[in-house]
Amino acid sequence: MIELRESGAFFLIFVFLTSEKIIQPQKPTISFLCKTFFYYMSAASSLKPSVLLLADGTIHHGHAFGKTGTTAGEICFNTGMTGYQEVFTDPSYFGQVLIMNSVHIGNYGVFDKDVESGSVKIRGLIARNLESQFSRKMAKGSLDDYLKANEIVCIEDVDTRALVAHVRTKGAMNCIISSENTDIEFLKKELLKTPSMDGLELASSVSTTREYELGDHNSEVRIAVLDYGIKRHILQCMVDRGAFLKVFPAKTSMEEIRSFRPNGYFLSNGPGDPAPMDYAITAVKEILKEKKPLFGICLGHQLLALANNIPTFKMHLGHRGLNHPVKNLITGKCEITTQNHGFGVDPAAVRNALNMEVTHVNLNDDSIEGIRLKNHPAFSVQYHPESTPGPHDSRYLFDDFIAMIRNSLS
């Protein structure tokens, strides 16, 4: 979408290029130029005003995109330049209003296979330029239509560089977007109704509601997946390595999970605060008693820590993006990783634990990125080794998990 000032600039540039014969339209007439000018003027004047209000009182004005309405949640930002559809459908973003740092979002449209769940999971979207037009042969539609179909309220024409710098300094907080009521006093009252992410259990809201199976039924590698908001490509990474999976709803009883006769367990990613998830922490403790291989990612990493009396905490910002450097302390190698989390495990508690060791650390802030137990075949990482989107430096972790299961069977 083009603002009024940009429409005029486009018109002047178009006139110059035409006059210099740098571009030659079929009918370089005054009528053609006038029609072009008024087309962009009309597009600019049809933009619907929208407003973004942060909990600290910061206000940004912009224009509506996607659904016209009001939405609120915790503000966060993603530094990735590509993979916006995978990001929007990641269940770990449930309850959050997302800033996309990249200046153009939507320019390659949407595609059925570029999803991590059955629907868009972000609560709202903030960007500099959200594109209705797209260029991609495989694309099935525009981002605008996609977000409208998923009822996602968005705001564009926001100075996202200034906004991200502000959030980076002040930390995570709630915000509200509205394109149906831009009265600030009204929005302040509405924003107060939005719960804090700290202490909020959300995993059961995005978990599957039914059990389902994936992979080769004849495989000797049988993995019970505890779904707290799992991404589809995580499942695919295990299926691609020959595993047979059964995915269980978040609050499934251990008796029912054991009836699958798994020889390995997987704890998925997911949204919200892990601390109030008593049902999941209890399940992990029961799993550890079996001494079968266990692998956790993101929220699953935090649950493994909590099951071993390692506390978690809400981070100032969290990590979200495709280029976070992590060091593997076992191999000494660095990995460029995909991340999406707002909580972490307590570094001092992990390092002081007798039954646990740190395997990975974040090279930006030295936060804990990986742990493994000394007395159990269990390990976890805070980041996303499936990396969709992102680099595939860390997919060896799925190989390690499958190898651990196979070795336990021999």
Active site (catalytic) residues: 298, 384, 386
| Cα separation, 212 vs 231, whole angstroms | 14
Tokens found for residue 168? 């980076």
By CB atoms closer than 10 A (0-12, 13-18, 19+), residue 39 is: middle
Residues facing residue 362 across a β-bridge: 326
DSSP letters along 217-246, please? TT-S-EEEEE-SS--HHHHHHHHTTT-EEE
Backbone angles phi, psi at 244, to 5 degrees: -105, 120
Going 85 to 91 to 95 to 101, the CA torsion angle's sign is: negative
Q: How many CB atoms lie within 10 A of CB 409?
A: 11
Nearest to 3 by CA among 48, 67, 59: 48
Among 91, 321, 88, 122, residue whose Cα is nearest residue 228 = 91
